[in-house]
Structure formats: structure tokens, C-alpha cells
Amino acid sequence: MSRAFSYIRFSSKKQQKGESFRRQAEFAVEVCRENGWVLDESLTLNDLGVSAFRGANAKVGALGEFLEAIRIGRVLRGSVLIIESIDRLSRNKVGEALQLFISILNSGVSIVTREPRRTYSQDSINDIAALLEPLIYMSRAHEESATKSFRLKDAWARKKERAVGGLPMTKMAPRWLELTERGFRPIPERVETVREIFRLSAEGLGVNRILQHLVANPKKYPPFGDSGRWRDSYVLQILSNRAVYGEFQPQRREEGNKRVDCGEPIKNYFPPVVTEEQFFQVQAGMKARFRVLGRPGQFETNLFTGIVHCAETRTTMSVHTFRQSTTPGGEPRPYRYLTSGATANGSTRRGKGLSFPYPPFEQALLHALSELKPGDVLGVEHGGDERETEIADLSGKLVVMDHRIQDAELKAADPDEESPETYVGLLKTLHRSKKEAVRRLEELKADAASCKAVNLGEVQSLLGLLNCQGDELRDVRRKLKSKIRSVVSEIWVHITRVSHMQRVAQVQIHLRNGTVKKIAIQHTSGLRAKSRKST
């Protein structure tokens, strides 16, 4: 008794809601009943929403698994493959489709089709009359798919041209906008929520803290995501969405339902709700916080969490609290030390000189920041010619990449092209290169947004508010911690223990524009610390 396998495929997942799946499944049951075959369901041969135009179903789909099962002997000779029609098997070029068809028959597996009702076996390979009909169907299927592909790409290109001219490409829009007859219109209350999210992120709040703020004020900030409530993933999605400053990146679906970028981003496609500079400042802040481990204290115990490092052990330094006595027999009081990671994890003996009292350290660094001038953070010619040159170079390269991608797509879709697989491989390489170039460009823009004199002004303004108390002090220190990162990239500390009572910390403050400021802090137990600058 022969074993039969039913292969079901359709290109769009929308077809799953219709009759296609039911029709193909019922045909397999009907054929098995008529011929007394056993329908083997141990292999799930369903390619739902998988294209056969470029043979994806035979490479990465369920059909590919069936071919492998034939190769290893899992599917035996004398078995039957049931398909609705030849185009379910392949819509590739006639040569490739015929090769696939013959390879299955040569393995001893027969093919049964519904439209037209035919049975093909290994004997059919040498029967010209028997092969003529499937050849015609293969040719027709490929021409239909090629024509459809061309029309879709042409329609998409025309939509993009209209979008550059100010007309929407699709009805899709971010949830803080709505589409009207005149184009996209901001929804005022939702726009205010988006701006609040960016304001809080710019002040140093992480995604979870922003989420707590939104949830705590549901009337002022009602959720507008799919779930009907605020989620950290949606807050992060808003913070990372370039649509907030008006940019739109057209995308289209490739084989396997994968979305890929299509051409250059379109500027000013959406009404902007924050500036591009604000967007990239927030990206830089999130990136800096991403490297920070641990939960911050209520009053931001360490203003330099994650950016201060021990020069001797090359480890990140953190604040640890110890108990000390003011006088012999007196009550113990907490005292905070900036301690190297090597000392904290026990790989270096405590007392070797890798700890320094945190209060005088913070005081000295804040004093050094207060003395910075705008020129110190702007650097050569307002922010670095090298960075601006690289931004310009990458922008130009992206334009060239987009043209090369368009050319490769046309070649890959050309039915007369002899080696389309060459261009498919090239497209993968170009898309990877473009993705890396876009990532680097956004990184440079975020860095450029951080290297602004206004950031230094905000830091120094906050320094003047540190005499406040309570909740106000907590908010000031939180904002100061975030703004310090917009000016300072990292801090390196080398601690020398001069005596039991005296320690010296030599500090390098690396500013985001590449400038390095050096200070030395001398601390003697029982006395105020002294700091001095060095060139």
C-alpha cells in the first residue's frame, strides 16, 4: 500500500482565511480514498505564505524538508506527493522548475495534481507528450509571477515618488497621527504624551521609570498602543521610532514575508513632533544607560555610574558603603568609597589603594565640570571636522548603495537573466552593508547631538541647584547624572595610597568631542580634599 504526502502551499497568509487550505487538504483525502493510499501526516508539508517564484519553498520551506526526507530515505520509493497544481510546486524559471519536477520523479516518488487531474511517475520523464503539458504550466506560472512582481515594484516606485512630493504612500501612520484628506494630522493629546516620553528620557529616566510615570497618570497620558495599556516595549518603540522627527523608511516584503528597506528614507514625510537633534540626544542617552548595571539609589548615589573606571585594573568603579566610627567608642556612621571592580569582587586585596572616598571625588569632578568653557566641549570648528566628514561620506555611500540595490533587484527579477542567483547574493551583501552604514550614521548623529555647548550649559545650571533638599534634590541629581553623560564619555582614575591617612587620585576626564581634561585629587582623612588641574 502506497504512502501519500500532501503538500499545501500559497503565497500570501491572507489566503489562509479563504478556501485555499481547505480545498487542497480535501483533495489529498479524496485521492487517498479513491486509490487506497495511506495519507502520511508525520511530515507537515505546509508552506503557508511562502513564495515559489524564486524557489524559496524548495530551499527553506516545507518542500525543502520533503526533498531532504527523500534523500535520507525517510520517504521511500513508491510514495506519492499530492499537490493541487504544478504552480504549487514551483513558479521558478522553467529550467529550475523542470529540474525540481524530474528530481522528485527520479527518486521513485510519483506526483498527483488536481488541476488538471494527472499522475506523473518516473516513466513520464521519457514521455515527451506527458512532459509537454507540465512544461506549459511551468512557463505560464513563472510569467504570471514575473509580471506580478514587476507591477508591484513599479506601483511601489510610483507610490514613493508621490510620497517625496508630499502625498502619503499608505494609510499606515504612527499612533500619534491620523490620516485625513489633507494628509497626516497630529493628535494633540498623544503628541504631548510622546513629547513627555522624550523629555523624561532626556532627563535621564530609563524606560521602566517612564513607564511608571505614564501608568501613574492614566488620565493625563492614556495609552494608545494595541494592548490598551502602557508597556515598556511600546515606550521603547516610541523612543526608537524615527517617525517622531518626520522620517519614513519605505519597506517592502521579500520572499519569506521578510520586510526589507526600500531605497532612502523620506525626510519630512510625517509631521515632526520632536526635533531630529532631540531624537539623537535621547538615543545617545539610552545607549549610555544601557551599559550601566545595577539599580540607582534614591538620590543617585553615584553620578558617574558606568563611566568611571580604574586605570590599574581596567575595571568599572562603583560606590560601596562602609561603616566608620567618628571617635573611639563613638556611633558608626556610613561612608561611601569609590571602589574598583577588582576590589569589589575580591580579585584584589582591599586596602591596596584601589578605593577613594566618593564625596571628595564627586565634589572635585563637579568643580572641574563647572570650569569648562563652551570651546572645551565643541572642540575644533564646532564639534569635529572628522565626524562631520564621516557623516557626509556615509550619507553619500547610502545613496550609491540604494542605486546598486535597485539595479540588482531589476536583474534578479529579469526573466531573461541567465544567473539571477548571483544578484540575489549581491542583494544580501548590499542590505547587510546598508544596515551597518545606517547604524554607524545614527551613532555619529547621536554623538554629534551630544557634543553641544547647550549640554554643558545645562550641566552647569544643574550644578547651581545642588543646595536644594528632598524630592527636588533627587530630581536635580537624576537630571545631572544624565546630562553629565552628554558631555563626558568616560573617566579614568589611578589611585595612589601615599600613607595610611592620605590618598591621591589622578583623574582623566574624557569629553565626548575627544578632549581630555586631567585633575589630581588629594585626600587626607579628617581634612578636606584638595584638587588641582594639570594640562
Residues with active-site annotation: 11
| Surface-to-core class of residue 455, CB atoms within 10 Å of its CB (0-12 exposed, 13-18 middle, 19+ buried) | buried
Q: How far apart are CA 268 and CA 143, in angstroms?
A: 39
Q: Is the peptide bond before 265 cis (omega within 30 degrees of 0)?
A: no
Spatial neighbors of 254 by CB under 8 A, at least 6 apart, are 260
Spatial neighbors of 322 by CB under 8 A, at least 6 apart, are 334, 335, 336, 337
Q: Which three cell numbers mark 438?
A: 545606517
Q: How far apart are CA 89 and CA 100, in angstroms?
A: 9
* Long-range pairs for 393-396: beta carbons < 8 A, 24 or more residues apart: 394/437, 394/440, 394/441, 394/444, 395/441
> Is the Cβ–Cβ distance between 450 and 488 less than 8 Å?
no
Query: What is the DSSP track for 168-215?
Result: -SSS---TTEEEETTEEEE-HHHHHHHHHHHHHHHTT--HHHHHHHHH
| Amino acid at residue number 492 | W
> Is the Cβ–Cβ distance between 370 and 361 less than 8 Å?
no
Q: How far apart are CA 333 and CA 120, in angstroms?
A: 90
Q: Which three cell numbers mark 329?
A: 567608642
Tell which residue, 43, 40, 86, 77, has the closest CA to residue 62. Answer: 43
Spatial neighbors of 74 by CB under 8 A, at least 6 apart, are 43, 68
Helix (H, G, I), strand (E, B) or coil at 396: helix
In the block, residue with C-alpha cell 563611566: 307
| Surface-to-core class of residue 441, CB atoms within 10 Å of its CB (0-12 exposed, 13-18 middle, 19+ buried) | middle
φ, ψ of residue 9 in degrees (nearest 5): -145, 140
Exposure string (b/e) for 159-198, b if CB count within 10 Å is 16 or more? ebeebeeeebbeeebbebbeeeeeebebbeebbebbebbb
- CA torsion, ordered 515, 518, 519, 520, to nearest 10 deg: 160
Q: Which helix (H) or strand (E) holds 261?
A: strand 259-261
Count Cα atoms within 13 angstroms, Cβ side, for 449: 19
> Is the Cβ–Cβ distance between 417 and 409 less than 8 Å?
no
